[in-house]
A = this chain, B = another copy of it.
Amino acid sequence: MAVYQATTSAPVNIACIKYWGKRDTTLILPTNSSLSVTLSQDHLRSTTTSRADPAFTETKLWLNGKEEDIKSGGRLERCLKELKKMRKERIEDKEPNAPKLSEWNIHVASYNNFPTAAGLASSASGFAALTSSIAALYGLNTFPSSSSAKPSIASPSELSLVARLGSGSACRSLFGGFVAWEAGSLPSGTDSLAVEVAPQSHWPTMHALICVVNDAKKGTSSTSGMQRTVDTSALLQHRIKHVVPQRMEAIIKAIKEKDFDSFAKITMADSNQFHAVALDTAPPIFYMNDVSRSIISIIEELNRVSLEKTGHLLAAYTFDAGPNAVIYTEEKNVKQIIEIIVRYFPQAESNPFPDPFKLFGGKQSAAVPLPEGFNENVAKVWEVGSVKGLIHTSIGDGPRGLLWLSI
């Protein structure tokens, strides 16, 4: 009996220019273009295995070991339908001997290596892994790391169209490095896809520190929140038409020139503007809390001091639809930023910082003096656990092919 199975992993991405608002809620077409940095799968990833078998009586999905209902006409079905169509038209219709995988049911199992409690959006990496795994199963894509000399039958941008049907921001996880999701203008959505702005290798010293913030209260889901903003915000249309287009242009230029100052300024401004339009919604939507705001104050103060001393910014914060901060900075600055963050947000002894880049030589970060001129009163020292964990990672690559079985 033949076995057809593929395992891939896909990365998390964190937007610098935020996606907030759909112009088509079924096809998941956004009101504006967005741009993200792909984070390394060495630290954060979704891993998905897909298997096709004529003996499967139905298509099934497990998330983190738990079987999920597959809603008829739902997001998974829409992705699967597109992939089956590609398999049929591009392979089975052309190679009469190719097995008719598109006609078989499949089983899909997906795992995130980060806990849901981390508050990181898993739908982006999840749908990107699902798309690339089924595409690999169907022979539609090859991977940079693969030994296959064949070019992919479906490009990452084409697969991003499929992932977008699952979760908008998932389309950006089909590439490594810096990725733009072009809003497009066609009602069909065929021009609303992800493109690579610059690969991981262009700016490998770009690192990220995620501050996982304790959250007492579940916020508004981004799916319902963004449409409430579309319906009620008096400022959103101005953002869409007049602010985002020039920010997209400016940040792409900054990335190409590795101009961290411009990159940081735009990233922080756009995070704040996204939360501003969320607040300009009726009823208002809040994702940041007082801890998030203290992190902003600390990074702004660090940048103020750095600008005064060196003429350059040190770091950029950005917040998605939750209280967690993602801090982008050059690799050489990560240690100092961790030291300052843990000064204001003491970490539990039972939960030591894992230090994947060995910044602290096996020791925990000790109290160090603040930089000269730093106003220590920009934030209070919070109780242990207010920031319940730190994740240090770097810019990363796109989906990875891990295992194919076709035997």
Residue of chain B at shortest CB distance from A278:
B276
Across the interface, A235 reaches (CB within 8 A) one of B235, B286, B296, B380, namely B235
- Minimal beta-carbon separation of A322 from chain B (angstroms): 14
Cα A283 to Cα B304 in complex, Å, equals 10
Q: Could you tell me if B279 and A275 are in contact, using CB atoms closer than 8 angstroms?
A: yes
Q: Could you tell me if B282 and A272 are in contact, using CB atoms closer than 8 angstroms?
A: yes
Cα A281 to Cα B300 in complex, Å, equals 12
Contact residues in B for A196 (Cβ distance below 8 Å) = none
Known interface pairs A216-B380, A276-B279; A234-B286 also in contact (CB < 8 Å): no
Contact residues in B for A277 (Cβ distance below 8 Å) = 235, 276
Answer whether residue A269 sits at the interface, using C-beta atoms and an 8 A cutoff: yes
Contact residues in B for A81 (Cβ distance below 8 Å) = none
Answer whether residue A273 sits at the interface, using C-beta atoms and an 8 A cutoff: yes
Contact residues in B for A227 (Cβ distance below 8 Å) = none
Residue of chain B at shortest CB distance from A236:
B235
Cα A269 to Cα B242 in complex, Å, equals 22
A272-296 interface code vs B (CB 8 A; 1 in, 0 out): 1101110111111010011001001
Answer whether residue A358 sits at the interface, using C-beta atoms and an 8 A cutoff: no
- Minimal beta-carbon separation of A301 from chain B (angstroms): 9
Answer whether residue A43 sits at the interface, using C-beta atoms and an 8 A cutoff: no
Contact residues in B for A234 (Cβ distance below 8 Å) = 238-239, 242-243, 269, 273
Q: Could you tell me if A280 and B273 are in contact, using CB atoms closer than 8 angstroms?
A: yes
Q: Could you tell me if B284 and A280 are in contact, using CB atoms closer than 8 angstroms?
A: no
Across the interface, A282 reaches (CB within 8 A) one of B265, B280, B286, B289, namely B265
Interface residues of A in 278-335 (CB under 8 A from B): 279-284, 286, 289-290, 293, 296, 300
Across the interface, A280 reaches (CB within 8 A) one of B272, B283, B286, B380, namely B272
Contact residues in B for A235 (Cβ distance below 8 Å) = 235, 238-239, 243, 273, 276-277
Answer whether residue A120 sits at the interface, using C-beta atoms and an 8 A cutoff: no
Residue of chain B at shortest CB distance from A282:
B269
- Using C-beta atoms within 8 Å of the partner chain, give the interface range for chain A: 20 to 34
A359-388 interface code vs B (CB 8 A; 1 in, 0 out): 000000000000000000001100000000
- Minimal beta-carbon separation of A235 from chain B (angstroms): 5
Residue of chain B at shortest CB distance from A217:
B380
Answer whether residue A268 sits at the interface, using C-beta atoms and an 8 A cutoff: yes
- Minimal beta-carbon separation of A305 from chain B (angstroms): 13
Interface residues of A in 212-232 (CB under 8 A from B): 216-217
- Minimal beta-carbon separation of A260 from chain B (angstroms): 16
Cα A283 to Cα B313 in complex, Å, equals 13
- Minimal beta-carbon separation of A296 from chain B (angstroms): 6
Contact residues in B for A272 (Cβ distance below 8 Å) = 279-282, 284
Residue of chain B at shortest CB distance from A289:
B290
Cα A275 to Cα B288 in complex, Å, equals 13
- Minimal beta-carbon separation of A309 from chain B (angstroms): 17
Cα A379 to Cα B279 in complex, Å, equals 17
Cα A380 to Cα B217 in complex, Å, equals 8
Cα A279 to Cα B242 in complex, Å, equals 18
15 A-B residue pairings within 8 Å (CB atoms): A217-B380, A234-B238, A234-B239, A234-B243, A235-B235, A235-B277, A238-B238, A265-B282, A269-B282, A272-B279, A272-B284, A276-B276, A276-B277, A284-B296, A290-B290
The 6 closest A-B pairs by CB, nearest first: A238-B238, A276-B280, A276-B276, A283-B300, A276-B279, A272-B284
